[in-house]
């Protein structure tokens, strides 16, 4: 015989009795709890799956970004290298441009004002005993440092040195030399002893046919717009020696000589040197203050002094003098 364990509660009130099957309620409740637990489980499972997926995605994204970062770093390195190369190129082009500027006689900024020695020696001119410079020393200086005209005709300056409006290029620039009007084929002479370091009919830009002479102590002279060059590169020339015939080659509106003096590569006003001679020997020390004349004179004095000593101590030379 089966024992029935159904639990029934009977509620009795004024209207009568009511039976409540407790077991049924318990079963229903269990079903609800089970459904709830299952739902919760499903929810947790789904959540974990989603979170895992998200973690995976984040990892992937992270890896991707790391890779991209590495690529960008590589690219950055490459760009840095390119920039460095360009910098070098610019520096190189700058050098070339400098040359081109000087070749066509154009320079934007003031020529070498800062870089050339702004000599204080001239406040020290009192220290320099110019009266003690002997005639021999003076003639030595006048032989080796450019002075006087490069032409044997009357000086007619058609374009001074310095800032001016370029008649052909239509821009303001520093005229690096002095223009002297000449008839065609006027002889052009070296203004000091030196060596021809440039004698070329082409490749000189606005200068046209050009001769450059390297002189002692850092000086150089340029003779431009020539019609005919009479010397060759490497040839030693004396002051007053014919180097060319004037003309109108390059950037030129008519026959003239563009004469330039450079000291340590930088143009200086040639007029002070053109007007410099034995009579006004000391004038250059006042007029051209960018050259350390004091130290230059010391060198020359030293050189000449030694030469005189040698002359005096050499019996052969004394003998030959005696004859
Ligand atoms: Zn000129």
Q: Ligand 1: distance of its center to the CA of 26 in Å? A: 118
Q: Ligand 1: distance of its center to the CA of 257 in Å? A: 7
Q: Ligand 1: distance of its center to the CA of 105 in Å? A: 7
Residue 122 makes CB contacts below 8 A (sequence gap 6+) with 285, 286, 289, 293
Residue 227 and residue 248 in contact, taking contact as beta carbons nearer than 8 Å: yes
Q: Ligand 1: distance of its center to the CA of 193 in Å? A: 23
DSSP SS3 for 60: helix
The DSSP secondary structure of 244-292, one letter per residue, reads: EEEB--SS-SSSEEEEEEEETTEEE-THHHHT--STTTTHHHHH-TTS-
Q: Ligand 1: distance of its center to the CA of 198 in Å? A: 18
Q: Ligand 1: distance of its center to the CA of 48 in Å? A: 87
Q: Ligand 1: distance of its center to the CA of 255 in Å? A: 11
Q: Ligand 1: distance of its center to the CA of 144 in Å? A: 24
Rounded Cα distance, 228 and 211, in Å: 10
Rounded Cα distance, 213 and 190, in Å: 8
Q: Can you give the length of the chain in residues? A: 323
Q: Ligand 1: distance of its center to the CA of 264 in Å? A: 20
Q: Hey, what are 59's tokens?
A: 């990892």
Which of 229, 192, 191 shows the shortest CA–CA distance to 210?
A: 229
Q: Ligand 1: distance of its center to the CA of 296 in Å? A: 29
Rounded Cα distance, 109 and 49, in Å: 73
Q: Ligand 1: distance of its center to the CA of 194 in Å? A: 22
The three-point CA angle 147-163-98 to 5° equals 80
Residue 211 makes CB contacts below 8 A (sequence gap 6+) with 188, 196, 198, 199, 222, 223, 226, 229, 231, 243, 244
Q: Ligand 1: distance of its center to the CA of 36 in Å? A: 103
Instruction: List phi, psi (to 5°) of 198.
Output: -160, 125
pLDDT tens sequence for the chain (323 residues): 555 667 777 888 888 888 878 888 888 899 999 999 999 999 999 999 999 999 999 999 999 999 999 999 999 888 888 777 776 665 555 444 444 444 444 444 444 444 455 545 445 455 556 666 778 888 889 999 999 999 999 999 999 999 877 767 777 888 899 999 999 999 999 999 999 999 999 888 889 999 999 999 999 999 999 999 999 999 999 999 999 999 999 988 899 999 999 999 999 999 999 999 988 888 898 889 889 988 888 888 888 765 555 555 544 444 444 33
Q: Hey, what are 165's tokens?
A: 């409006």
Task: Enumerate residues with CB within 5 Å of ligand 1 (an ion).
Answer: 179, 258
Q: Ligand 1: distance of its center to the CA of 46 in Å? A: 90
């Amino acid at each position: 015989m089966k024992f029935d364990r159904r639990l029934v509660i009977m509620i009795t009130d004024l209207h009568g009795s009511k039976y409540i099957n407790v077991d049924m309620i318990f079963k229903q409740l269990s079903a609800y709890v089970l459904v709830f637990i299952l739902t919760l489980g499903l929810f947790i499972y789904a959540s974990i799956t989603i979170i895992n997926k998200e973690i995976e995605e984040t990892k992937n994204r992270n890896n991707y970004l790391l890779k991209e970062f590495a690529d960008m770093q590589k690219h950055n390195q490459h760009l840095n290298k390119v920039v460095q190369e360009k910098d070098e190129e610019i520096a190189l082009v700058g050098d070339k441009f400098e040359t081109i500027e000087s070749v066509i006689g154009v320079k934007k900024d003031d020529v070498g004002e800062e870089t050339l020695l702004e000599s204080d020696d001239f406040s020290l001119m009192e220290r320099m005993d110019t009266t003690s410079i002997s005639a021999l020393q003076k003639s030595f200086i006048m032989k080796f440092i450019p002075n006087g005209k490069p032409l044997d005709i009357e000086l007619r300056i058609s374009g001074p040195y310095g800032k001016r409006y370029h008649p052909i290029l239509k821009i303001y620039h520093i005229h690096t030399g002095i223009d002297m009007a000449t008839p065609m084929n006027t002889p052009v002479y070296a203004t000091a002893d030196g060596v021809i370091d440039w004698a070329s009919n082409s490749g000189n830009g606005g200068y046209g046919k050009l001769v450059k002479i390297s002189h002692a102590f850092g000086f150089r002279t340029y003779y431009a717009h020539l019609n005919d060059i009479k010397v060759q590169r490497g040839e030693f020339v004396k002051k007053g020696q014919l180097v060319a015939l004037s003309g109108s080659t390059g950037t030129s509106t008519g026959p003239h000589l563009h004469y330039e003096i450079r000291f340590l590569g930088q143009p200086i006003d040639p007029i002070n040197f053109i007007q410099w001679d034995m009579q006004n020997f000391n004038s250059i020390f006042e007029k051209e203050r960018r050259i350390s004349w004091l130290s230059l004179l010391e060198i020359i004095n030293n050189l000449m002094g030694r030469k005189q000593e040698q002359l005096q101590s050499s019996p052969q030379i004394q003998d030959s003098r005696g004859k």
